[in-house]
Amino acid sequence: MKRILVTGSYGQIGTELVVALREKYGGENVIATGRKKPPEVLRRDGPYYRLDVLDTDQLHTMLVDYDIDIIIHNASVLSAVGEKNPQLAYRTNVEGSYNVLEATRILGLDQVMIPSSIAAFGPSTPKEDTPNDVIMRPTTAYGVSKVFIELWGEYYNLRYGVDFRSLRYPGIISAETLPGGGTTDYAVEIFYEALKNKRYTCFLAKDARLPMMYMPDCLKSTIDLIEADPEKLVHRSFNITAMSFTPEELAKEIKKHIPEFEVEYRPDFRQQIAESWPRSIDDSAAREEWGWQPDYDLSAMTEDMLKRLSKKLGVEY
């Protein structure tokens, strides 16, 4: 059985990814790491440690001592926080990922997975059905760091045979852990506010269309790519998507379940970030090379989110 170490385990994706990996690979084989105190759900079924990826000694020691085969490097500063503190984004995203790729190369690990994002694209990228291989000139610190990760990972693959894999996640919607400082966070916050207050003030414009995905699809895509046959991979960094919607379309879908729900639009600096990203994504390379297919569209996601979140918050609707 492969042994996997996950960084950023206590974040929005990390928390649920560790749980899903432990179900599949066994609790003891999936090491959760991060810098915060782990949530209860990660303390039950397997090991967890404090790890700062900028500390290369600690990183190498942990990879050796726990006999790790695969590292999934989820620790990252997201787009909105990155614009407030670009230097922090550089250190965490660029230096952190460099350390992880170097550790993979030096220690000869089987595989390294580092997420990329739709943020790796920029204003000069075609915005509709954005292809996998296309011009990428992002204008955010986060986006620039993701292009570095993709290119350095692909370079290590060519140069040293490092088995690097990456997914360009769209906005991820989930009920378990809140996202931490991104531009697509509105698509999670809106559900909490709809259930708790029946009102939401959106920080993006009502027509800001962005590619999105529900957490079960995010977990499926991640695990499918880790397990994909390397012989079949032509690419190493993949577009993936499940749906695209605007804040207004999402609000309309929620209103089908909560008719009193009202949304006000007050775009802030994140609107400009959203405008620099694709509105929809062509993920045919992922479909062809490793069989990617999403399960949730806008209406299925909305229904399930409301069900899960209302249970968690103890609110009827």
With CB atoms as reference, the residue minimizing the distance to ligand SER is: 182
Contact call for residue 152 and ligand SER (CB under 6 A): no
* CA–CA gap between residue 42 and residue 84 (Å, rounded): 30
Contact call for residue 171 and ligand SER (CB under 6 A): yes
Candidates 149, 101, 118; CA nearest to 277 is 118
Measured from the CB atom, the residue of 29 and 183 that comes closer to ligand SER is 183
Catalytic residue (choose from 10, 25, 142, 169): 142
Contact call for residue 174 and ligand SER (CB under 6 A): no
Measured from the CB atom, the residue of 46 and 179 that comes closer to ligand SER is 179
Contact call for residue 109 and ligand SER (CB under 6 A): no
First to last CA, the chain: 44
* CA–CA gap between residue 241 and residue 279 (Å, rounded): 11
Contact call for residue 14 and ligand SER (CB under 6 A): no
116-135 binders of ligand SER (CB under 6 A): 117-119
* CA–CA gap between residue 72 and residue 307 (Å, rounded): 30
Cβ contact 210:274 at 8 Å: yes
Measured from the CB atom, the residue of 26 and 180 that comes closer to ligand SER is 180
| Torsion 194-200-202-205 (CA) sign | positive
Q: Which residue has the tokens 């996640």?
A: 169
Contact call for residue 294 and ligand SER (CB under 6 A): no
Minimum distance between the CB of residue 233 and ligand SER, rounded to whole angstroms?
22
Measured from the CB atom, the residue of 25 and 191 that comes closer to ligand SER is 191
Contact call for residue 30 and ligand SER (CB under 6 A): no
Minimum distance between the CB of residue 257 and ligand SER, rounded to whole angstroms?
24
The string of DSSP codes covering 126-147 is: -SSSB-SSS-----SHHHHHHH
| Residue 48 annotated to the active site | no
The residues near 24 (Cβ < 8 Å, ≥ 6 apart) are 223
Contact call for residue 78 and ligand SER (CB under 6 A): yes
CA-angle at 272, arms to 174 and 248, nearest 5°: 50
Contact call for residue 99 and ligand SER (CB under 6 A): no
* CA–CA gap between residue 123 and residue 275 (Å, rounded): 8
Active-site residues, by number, are 142
Q: Which residues bind ligand SER (CB under 6 A)?
A: 78-79, 117-119, 142, 169, 171, 182-184
